[in-house]
Amino acid sequence: MAQLTRVSGSVGLITLQNPPVNALSAAVRQGIVDTVKKAVSDPLVKCVVICGQNGVFCGGADIREFGAPMTGPPLVPMIHAIEATNKPVVAAIEGAALGGGLELALGCHYRIIHSKARVGLPEVTLGLLPAAGGSQRLPRLIGVPAALELITTGRHVSAAEALKLGIVDQVTDDNTVDTTVKFALSVVGRSLESRRISTFPCPPVSDLDAVFDVAMQRVRQSARGAIAPVTCVQAVRAAATLPYTQGMKREQELMATLFTSGQARALQYCFFAQRAVSRWSMPSGARWDTSKPRPISKAAVIGLGTMGRGIAVALAQAGLSVVAVETQEKQLMDAKQAVSGMLERGAKRRGVAPALGLVSYSHNIQAVAEADLVIEAVFEDMDLKKKVFQQLSAVCKPGTLLCTNTSSLDVDHLASQTPSPELVVGMHFFAPAHVMKLLEVVYGPRSSPQAVATAMQLGKKMGKVSVAVGNCRGFVGNRMLKPYMEQAFFLLEEGATPELVDQALEEFGFAMGVFRMSDLSGLDVGWRVRKADGLVDPDATSGRSARIRQGRRYSPLGDLLCEQGRFGQKAGRGWYQYDKPGSRVAKPDPWLHNFLEQYRARHGLGVRHIDHQEVLERCLYALINEGFRILEDGIAAGPEDIDAIYVFGYGWPRYRGGPMFYAGMVGLANVLERLEHFHQVHPDVPYLQPCSLLRRLVASGSPPIQKWREVIRKVHSQL
């Protein structure tokens, strides 16, 4: 797992060998300990170079080992032994040196990096801190402010920036190992006293307390309940205030508080879930590894409203040539200006040239004739979308993939408007489409595996976390949102306020509570959908019938607000009030409180005390229950798909791992018991009736989430 060879006569070359990223597994650590010892004791070896196999230096500690008891030599003494050698040890960094990988490099006496490689201490994103000396060495090397920023954000740093910060000694465009071998030979015989970072004093900072106070405030604000960023600040403070040995002791103590925490487990689960969703499968048995995507070089977007503009930007930023079509001339001109602006701002941020030339604009749908793939993003109206699909079928060259950006309409129904339904899939983007990471790729019963593979690959090219899901009302994300929002409305009827519900959800870690979110996205969106579903009945203003629709409990509160023109932020009032239309600062609204009181009185609803726990259980367990139904129905292939959708598209706090992971953490039996209780109290709310898959999992002893697929497979095989 680490190989020692002698090159250029007197250089001991140690190559880490653990594909794909040379993670520091027990075997690799053992290999490093053994090979370093051998190289140091070999009189023919004058200096040592450490590199990684296959163009990657090292992706850090092996995260997969964290769940099991530690075996093999620990990292800290291993790195100390390297630093303490009296022969120069130089790290040859290709690809990436991250986490423990960079900590290993910081234990070396010099670091040479390829210009395309990157370094970083991303432990915080896994709920940890750099506990192989990283929190103590990096501040000593580059100063407290820069180290604080890197360690608390986990940001990856380019080779150029690493050189500027002083993390590396040299950047090369040539063969990194050859360059490093030459460099190592050139420093043989030089004193190593000034190269051991652990012996450096931390560069002094004027007003250290103020620096740490500001950093603590910043992480507390942005972390919204995540403990690792706060602990990282404490670890760097130890570097700045304690001698190295004591600082290391503090680093270990702080790591011990994080290592077995639920947040670390959740974040590490998210790391693997994000990667697992790319290995998609369909109920037909089609899979990611047996379905070949088609090459896409020219794409088209139909409809240049907010979503269409964002999609055009995302496509162009991914390097595709884009035809942007909008039939209304004024809208087309506005869109052209907006898309160019977004491309220019994005390019400035990324330090590249804007891809303005990649987008062409037309008001004629004929312009898409040569596109390999078209994404329809017109208004959410089935008749309009059907018309667009019929036109596209007539215009596009044979084999063009037709995608719809619908957020809930039936993809299969749209596919039936074309002679080639196998070429139709949903590509459900989230606003703003060029920013949000999530993409739901929706396959209908007739979508071909190749169409799914192509949309998934395109999503990846656009930098999205793409999740393949089946076709049903609302797909995965919006389908689960419905019971969640429904419970929030019911809680208002029973005595809660929007502020109370939102506070509970925001303290849980959501960026925004359900009512603030509804004000942001606009209350009229849901109103239109409910109207189309025949749920809105303006005559049913009082009596029990006003709160029962289609045989189940219904809250008309959202409809009543819409009737008053309270559409949310854009109207300056919704569940909250705002200083002016478009303002973002939500303030509690006495009008709304009064309205709720009158509403409850009119319907004879008693007011009771509702606490945060009830808000969380009612809203989140209803959502989770629907997640189990989605798994049971085969709409999502596994819990990781649902969790990735919620973490990357719906603001679910990443340190809670996603709704399905959270259910496992709370205990499936507890979730079941609370749902049973709530369903008993509210028998007219079908969403609270525990799903049979949840019962089944509890009956099978609540297996860990990694084993749910086995139970799901059994359920499907019995259907």
Query: Is 100 in contact with 16 (CB distance < 8 Å)?
Result: no
- Exactly one of 91, 96, 171, 476 binds ligand L6W4SP4V (CB under 6 A); that residue is 96
For the sheet containing 47-52, what is the strand order? Answer: 2-7, 11-16, 47-52, 89-93, 110-114, 170-172
Cα–Cα distances in angstroms (integers) from residue 413 to residues 389, 392, 404, 418, 470, in the given order: 11, 15, 11, 10, 14
Q: Shortest approach of ligand L6W4SP4V to residue 427 CB, angstroms?
A: 22
Residue type, 150: L
Q: Shortest approach of ligand L6W4SP4V to residue 279 CB, angstroms?
A: 7
| C-beta closer to ligand L6W4SP4V: residue 276 or 368 | 276
Could you tell me whether strands 321-325 and 157-158 are parallel, antiparallel, or unpaired per DSSP bridges?
unpaired
Nearest residue to 67 (alpha-carbon basis) of 709, 712, 704: 704
| C-beta closer to ligand L6W4SP4V: residue 255 or 439 | 255
**What phi and psi, each to the nearest 5 degrees, are found at residue 199?**
-90, -5
Q: Shortest approach of ligand L6W4SP4V to residue 5 CB, angstroms?
A: 24
In the three-class reduction of DSSP (H, G, I as helix; E, B as strand; rest coil), residue 181 is classed as helix
| C-beta closer to ligand L6W4SP4V: residue 568 or 639 | 639
Q: Shortest approach of ligand L6W4SP4V to residue 94 CB, angstroms?
A: 12
**What phi and psi, each to the nearest 5 degrees, are found at residue 95?**
65, -90
**Range 99-158, binding ligand L6W4SP4V (CB under 6 A):** 99-100, 103, 122-123, 126, 128, 130-132, 134
| C-beta closer to ligand L6W4SP4V: residue 51 or 61 | 61
| C-beta closer to ligand L6W4SP4V: residue 98 or 442 | 98
Q: Shortest approach of ligand L6W4SP4V to residue 65 CB, angstroms?
A: 8
* Residue 275 binds ligand L6W4SP4V, judged by CB under 6 A: yes
Contact segment (CB under 6 A) with ligand L6W4SP4V among 215-223, 239-247, 254-262, 711-719 equals: 254-262
- Exactly one of 272, 356, 381, 583 binds ligand L6W4SP4V (CB under 6 A); that residue is 272
- The one catalytic residue among 103, 440, 493, 499: 103
DSSP-derived secondary structure letter, 61: B
Contact segment (CB under 6 A) with ligand L6W4SP4V among 15-23, 35-43, 205-213, 291-299 equals: 15-23
Core vs surface per residue 87-114: b (16+ CB within 10 A) or e = bbbbbbbbbbbbbbbbbbbbbbbbbbbb
- The one catalytic residue among 65, 83, 94, 123: 123
DSSP-derived secondary structure letter, 704: -
| C-beta closer to ligand L6W4SP4V: residue 74 or 543 | 74
| C-beta closer to ligand L6W4SP4V: residue 259 or 595 | 259
Q: Shortest approach of ligand L6W4SP4V to residue 248 CB, angstroms?
A: 12
Residue type, 566: R
Active site annotation includes 617: no
The closest residue (CB) to ligand L6W4SP4V is 99
* Nearest-angstrom CA–CA distance, 101 and 119: 9
Peptide bond into 498 cis (omega under 30): no
Burial of 220 (0-12, 13-18, 19+ CB in 10 A): middle
The count of other CB atoms within 10 Å of the CB of residue 590 is 9
In the three-class reduction of DSSP (H, G, I as helix; E, B as strand; rest coil), residue 303 is classed as coil
Structural element, H or E, at residue 487: helix 477-494
Q: Shortest approach of ligand L6W4SP4V to residue 123 CB, angstroms?
A: 5
Active site annotation includes 103: yes
- Exactly one of 1, 11, 21, 452 binds ligand L6W4SP4V (CB under 6 A); that residue is 21
Query: Is 562 in contact with 489 (CB distance < 8 Å)?
Result: no
**Range 31-90, binding ligand L6W4SP4V (CB under 6 A):** 59-64, 75
Core vs surface per residue 432-458: b (16+ CB within 10 A) or e = ebbebbbbbbbbbebbbbbbbbbbbbb
Q: Shortest approach of ligand L6W4SP4V to residue 259 CB, angstroms?
A: 4
- Residues near ligand L6W4SP4V (CB under 6 A), total: 29
Nearest residue to 623 (alpha-carbon basis) of 604, 601, 645, 593: 645
* Nearest-angstrom CA–CA distance, 606 and 509: 30
**What phi and psi, each to the nearest 5 degrees, are found at residue 58?**
-170, 130
Could you tell me whether strands 118-120 and 157-158 are parallel, antiparallel, or unpaired per DSSP bridges?
antiparallel
| C-beta closer to ligand L6W4SP4V: residue 272 or 379 | 272
Mask: binding to ligand L6W4SP4V, 199-238, rule CB under 6 A, as x and -? ----------------------------------------
| C-beta closer to ligand L6W4SP4V: residue 129 or 202 | 129
Tokens for 230? 């706060």
- Exactly one of 45, 51, 98, 693 binds ligand L6W4SP4V (CB under 6 A); that residue is 98
| Active-site residue list | 103, 123
Can you give the binding site for ligand L6W4SP4V, defined by CB under 6 A? 20-21, 23, 59-64, 75, 96, 98-100, 103, 122-123, 126, 128, 130-132, 134, 255-256, 259-260, 272, 275
